[in-house]
Amino acid sequence: MNLDLAARTSRVEPSATVAISNLASELEAEGVDVVDLSVGEPDFPTPENVVEAGKAAIDAGHTGYTPSTGIPALKEAIVEKLDADGLDHTTDEIIVTPGGKQALYEVFQTAVDDGDEVVLLDPAWVSYEAMAKLAGGSLARVDTAQYDFALEPALDELAEAVSDDTQLLVVNSPANPTGAVYSEAALEGVRDLAVEHDVLVISDEIYKEITYGVEPISLGALDGMGDRTVTLNGFSKAYSMTGWRLGYFAGPQELVSEAGKLHSHSVTCATNFVQHAGVEALRNTDEAVAEMRDAFAERREMLLDLFDDHGLDVPAPDGAFYMMLPVDEDDQSWCEAVIEEAHVATVPGSAFGTPGYARISYAAAEDRLREAVSRLAENEFI
């Protein structure tokens, strides 16, 4: 049959982060010892009390559909978390989704029409570009690499990119893939532009619990941003719950209500017992989150020292669990050679819009990180 498929998916490539991680798994299945620093996935088990809450919810029979936008107990816990971050939302301004990715997808589909302009801060996480394109949007990109990934020095360039034609601006702080945490002055600059040009902003705060000595700020808490910010979060990173698939977004009532139609016609609701585990994650995991953060902090220090020993100048990340290594301009070939010859999996910066870098995730055990650096050195990649 001549399949005449929709043009929509032909506009995008498969997720590079997921594809490289799949390749690493394939090599491992063939018996190759790969140090996989590609995918951003905490290497810790989900905190035990969260696992127990999930099991208890299954035992208690929470296995049917839930209200489409989420169970009241979880939405109330989310309202309290947002309130602690200075964000004022009611439960009807929230949709609980199977993962943060689905939340983003719903927001893009609801906010962006064919030809609408979406502004990204590069390097930007791979799926923003794909989601903008799937919604028919066109992209304007502002590069922060020249400023060691800080946003404040790039505000002039951002001012050139944002205009009255801009529909949506995506801000991700702490950022994937750079680990940058944007300063208050930088976010105020974003606010001023968003207000001046009447732009909707997504604030992706999925790494907000993972910072090193700096206080992350919620963009929606700044004056003038409350009614134009969609705040997005998920449970994958902070609570090491990648496979549970749980996330949410909170935003202006009108947008949330429109997105609710898409949500109800696609996923219906997030998994029932997973939402119950999510309540426990939000309410009782301070210690577990702090332990994981401390472990990431140690690994970050260790890696920065090791790279420094090898004369590699790596911008120090203030959050998340990624670093961007400066590599050959042809970063794709560099990453391919590194996985083939050194058996270390990394993601090329060009997948994030910024060639000349490779992203590593240090959500991996310390000995594996050491092993990765020595393999890179032995094979003369650094």
What residues line the site for ligand PMP (CB under 6 A)? 40, 99-101, 125, 172, 176, 204, 206, 234, 236, 242, 247
Q: Does 363 contact ligand GLU by CB under 6 A?
A: no
Q: Which does 15 bind (CB under 5 to 8 A by kind): ligand PMP, ligand GLU, none?
A: ligand GLU
Q: Which does 39 bind (CB under 5 to 8 A by kind): ligand GLU, ligand PMP, none?
A: ligand GLU
Closer CB to ligand GLU, residue 166 or residue 350? 350
Using CB under 6 A as the binding criterion, the count of chain residues that bind ligand GLU stands at 9
Q: How far is the CB of 143 from ligand GLU (least distance, A)?
A: 19
Per-residue binding letters, 97-126, with ligand GLU (x by CB under 6 A)? ----------------------------xx
As a whole number of angstroms, the distance between CA 230 and CA 238 comes to: 19
Nearest to 35 by CA among 363, 355, 358, 381: 363
Peptide bond into 174 cis (omega under 30): yes
Q: Does 243 contact ligand GLU by CB under 6 A?
A: no
- 166 contacts 199 by C-beta, under 8 angstroms: yes
Distances from the Cα of 275 to the Cαs of 113, 166, 209, 328, 349, in angstroms? 31, 35, 19, 44, 34
Closer CB to ligand PMP, residue 43 or residue 192? 43
Nearest to 334 by CA among 283, 376, 292: 376
Q: Which does 100 bind (CB under 5 to 8 A by kind): ligand PMP, ligand GLU, none?
A: ligand PMP
Instruction: State which residue has the least CB distance to ligand GLU.
Output: 40
Q: Does 39 contact ligand GLU by CB under 6 A?
A: yes
As a whole number of angstroms, the distance between CA 344 and CA 298 comes to: 21
User: Cβ atoms within 10 A of the Cβ of 356, count?
Assistant: 17
* Residue of 46, 69, 166, 176 that binds ligand GLU (CB under 6 A): 176
Q: In this structure, are strands 347-348 and 357-361 parallel, antiparallel, or unpaired?
A: antiparallel
Amino acid at 219: L
Closer CB to ligand GLU, residue 17 or residue 218? 17
Closer CB to ligand GLU, residue 144 or residue 172? 172
Residue 129 makes CB contacts below 8 A (sequence gap 6+) with 12, 120, 139, 353
Closer CB to ligand GLU, residue 41 or residue 93? 41
* Residue of 18, 32, 60, 214 that binds ligand GLU (CB under 6 A): 18
* Six-digit token string for 96: 């609980």
Q: How far is the CB of 340 from ligand PMP (least distance, A)?
A: 26
- 157 contacts 131 by C-beta, under 8 angstroms: no
- 48 contacts 284 by C-beta, under 8 angstroms: no
Q: Which does 204 bind (CB under 5 to 8 A by kind): ligand PMP, ligand GLU, none?
A: ligand PMP
As a whole number of angstroms, the distance between CA 377 and CA 382 comes to: 5
Q: How far is the CB of 49 from ligand GLU (least distance, A)?
A: 24
How many alpha carbons lie under 13 Å from residue 238 in its C-beta half-sphere?
Answer: 24
DSSP run (H or E) holding 108 = helix 100-111
Closer CB to ligand GLU, residue 125 or residue 249? 125
Closer CB to ligand PMP, residue 75 or residue 101? 101
Closer CB to ligand PMP, residue 247 or residue 348? 247
Q: How far is the CB of 243 from ligand PMP (least distance, A)?
A: 9
Q: Does 15 contact ligand GLU by CB under 6 A?
A: yes
Closer CB to ligand GLU, residue 14 or residue 67? 14
As a whole number of angstroms, the distance between CA 104 and CA 108 comes to: 6
- What does the binding site for ligand GLU look like in residue numbers (CB under 6 A)? 15, 17-18, 39-40, 125-127, 176
